[in-house]
Structure 1
Amino acid sequence: MISRSLKKLTRRNKASYKKVENNIEVTALVPANTTVNDDMEYIADITDQFSATMDPILRMYSAAMSATTARLEIIKDEFKYRKLRVPIHHIDTRLKSASSILGKLQKKSLALTLTAACNNIFDIAGIRVICPYIKDVYLIRDRLMAQDDIYIMEIKDYIAQPKKNGYRSLHMTIRVPVYFMNKKQMVPVELQLRTLSMDLWASLEHDLLYKSLYDDNEKKLDIRDIDIEKELKECSELIYTAEAKMEKLNACLEDMQ
């Protein structure tokens, strides 16, 4: 009996031992023909080096974004102080990640270097300014252009000339001064100025296109019989017609005051 029990225990131990020895190979987790260095010290070193190089760059753009946002907040506060209707509804900010910057360099077929990124990608720091009405968009544009320490790189007016799909917005690429201990750097920031209606359309348009391209259930949406661009443009015209009526009503009310 004891001998039989020992044999059973030995067989179980051998089976257990085989399971323990079946370790996961790191190379099995990556595509074939890919060289993998799984040395933790090496990985830590390159991570630290990458952070040491990227952090100051991203901090510079973050500082430029904050400085520009502060200027916009000052405009808001001035209107509040004067008890006037505020031309800015809200402000959103976005700083591109290192992977997004790399992807854009590849898309533009540029050198995969920080120098190429800083000199060719001007939307690393992005600000979206949402205004109640179209006239507010141009008011903010003019207030920014009047600041003599801001350099205007480019303005694209998609309100006066909407895109084919109905997209409307005013894009400004500016350079703002960022002061360091030993120098001043003019850092590019991209601004998108749009109304609430324009932001509504752009958000819904992104949602529609995102769902049609990336469906979680892996079901191909059949959009071949739908002229997406035409439908989106018709939706934009409906939204902007209502917006124009609301802006006209607002102008009448302001004239009565």
Structure 2
Amino acid sequence: MYTVNLKQTLIPYGQAVEELKLKFKALRQSFIANEEYSPIEFVTGRVKKVASIIDKAKRKNIPFDKIEELIEDIAGIRIMCQFEEDINTVISLIKQRHKKDLFVIKERDYITNMKPSGYKSYHIIIRYPIQTPQGEKQILAEIQIRTLAMNFWATIEHSLRYKYKQNMPADIQNRLNKAAMAAYKLDEEMAQIREEVLKSQKGFVEEATVIGDIFNNIQNLADKHTAENMNGIYETFWKLWEENDINKLKEFDKNLLHSLSEK
């Protein structure tokens, strides 16, 4: 009977996960729309399964009527970053929302204080208001922030821990520890080339924007010219495309805009 009631209880938690995912995905898109580097690479979320909630309640001796109060990760979202340095930026972005659309309750830094298993991540527990047919409901949710390398390791570790429960074989644990150090080294190496990566990404975004503008302007010109008149424009564009010179492409785009303004 209680399991059925718990399923009903979880409905607003699903709503919270979807709303939080949408907000942080929109934040990522706002960076991209402004042609800025986004510290958020992607966002996922989930609601803990009933069996997992009951299992955790039993392990921690949490009464069923205290589950919503004492289990803080029933609703959870995960924000992945390219670089470890981005994690602090995301933490700051979350704290800026404190008392606006969420409330930061506590933080757990498993990056500075890595778990013995090798687990690294930054956790923020928030209280999040949900509007339900019965009125506003304040629920607890967990936001995990980690790099792609940290997430890869944690996903594998979670699957193995689920398989072996509390009886992880020593050789598997040793390999996991080595893999954790490899993930740590990867993040270190990525930090060393961060500026080069960011320059490359910025250049790609800039080129994509210019190419998009050129195609749009060519299409507008094509609506006003015959195909024969457009042949020279097409040939010039493909030549510049092959040269891959962003400055020449920008100049070509300006000329297209000038041609459009004359019509």
Range of TM-score over shorter length: 0.5 to 0.7
- In 2, are the aligned partners of 1:64 and 1:188 still within 8 Å (CA)? no
Match of 1:249 among 196, 206, 228: 196
Give how far 1:124 is off. 0.6
- Distance of aligned partners of 1:226 and 1:65 in 2 relative to their CA distance in 1, 3 Å threshold: closer
Residue in structure 2 matched with residue 120 of structure 1 by the alignment: 70
1:118-164: CA deviation from partner (whole Å, max 9, x where unpaired): 11101111111111122322222211211123111111112222223
Once residues 135 and 29 of structure 2 are traced to their aligned partners in structure 1, the CA distance between those partners, rounded to angstroms, is 30
Match of 1:194 among 127, 146, 151: 146
Match of 2:31 among 62, 79, 82: 79
Once residues 235 and 248 of structure 1 are traced to their aligned partners in structure 2, the CA distance between those partners, rounded to angstroms, is 22
- In 1, are the aligned partners of 2:109 and 2:122 still within 8 Å (CA)? yes
Once residues 210 and 101 of structure 1 are traced to their aligned partners in structure 2, the CA distance between those partners, rounded to angstroms, is 14
TM-score by length of structure 2 reads 0.65
Residue in structure 2 matched with residue 41 of structure 1 by the alignment: none
- SS of residue paired to 2:193: helix
- In 2, are the aligned partners of 1:131 and 1:195 still within 8 Å (CA)? yes
- Distance of aligned partners of 1:109 and 1:62 in 2 relative to their CA distance in 1, 3 Å threshold: same
- Distance of aligned partners of 1:116 and 1:240 in 2 relative to their CA distance in 1, 3 Å threshold: same
- Distance of aligned partners of 1:164 and 1:116 in 2 relative to their CA distance in 1, 3 Å threshold: same
Residue in structure 1 matched with residue 111 of structure 2 by the alignment: 159
- Distance of aligned partners of 1:81 and 1:223 in 2 relative to their CA distance in 1, 3 Å threshold: same
Match of 2:40 among 88, 97, 100: 88
Give how far 1:241 is off. 2.5
Identity percentage of aligned residues: 23
Give how far 1:185 is off. 1.8
Residue in structure 1 matched with residue 256 of structure 2 by the alignment: none
Structure 1 residue runs of 5 or longer lacking an equivalent are 1-45, 215-219
- In 2, are the aligned partners of 1:164 and 1:233 still within 8 Å (CA)? no
Once residues 231 and 121 of structure 1 are traced to their aligned partners in structure 2, the CA distance between those partners, rounded to angstroms, is 31
Is 1:183 the counterpart of 2:135 in the alignment? yes
Once residues 166 and 248 of structure 1 are traced to their aligned partners in structure 2, the CA distance between those partners, rounded to angstroms, is 27
1:166-203: CA deviation from partner (whole Å, max 9, x where unpaired): 32211111011111245322211111111112112223
- SS of residue paired to 1:168: coil
Give the alignment of 1:23-42 within 5 angstroms.
none
Residue in structure 1 matched with residue 16 of structure 2 by the alignment: 64
Runs of 4+ in 1 over 3 A off after TM superposition: 204-211, 220-230, 248-257
- Distance of aligned partners of 1:203 and 1:243 in 2 relative to their CA distance in 1, 3 Å threshold: farther
Give how far 1:209 is off. 5.2
Larger relative helix fraction = 2
Give how far 1:89 is off. 1.7
Larger Rg: 1
Structure 2 residue runs of 5 or longer lacking an equivalent are 207-263
- Distance of aligned partners of 1:210 and 1:231 in 2 relative to their CA distance in 1, 3 Å threshold: farther
- SS of residue paired to 1:110: coil
- SS of residue paired to 1:87: coil
Once residues 226 and 130 of structure 1 are traced to their aligned partners in structure 2, the CA distance between those partners, rounded to angstroms, is 24
- In 1, are the aligned partners of 2:128 and 2:138 still within 8 Å (CA)? yes
- SS of residue paired to 1:163: coil
Residue in structure 2 matched with residue 146 of structure 1 by the alignment: 96
Greater Cα shift, 239-248 or 86-95: 239-248
* RMSD of Structure 2 on Structure 1 (CA): 3.1
The aligned length equals: 201
Once residues 134 and 173 of structure 2 are traced to their aligned partners in structure 1, the CA distance between those partners, rounded to angstroms, is 58
TM-score by length of structure 1 reads 0.67
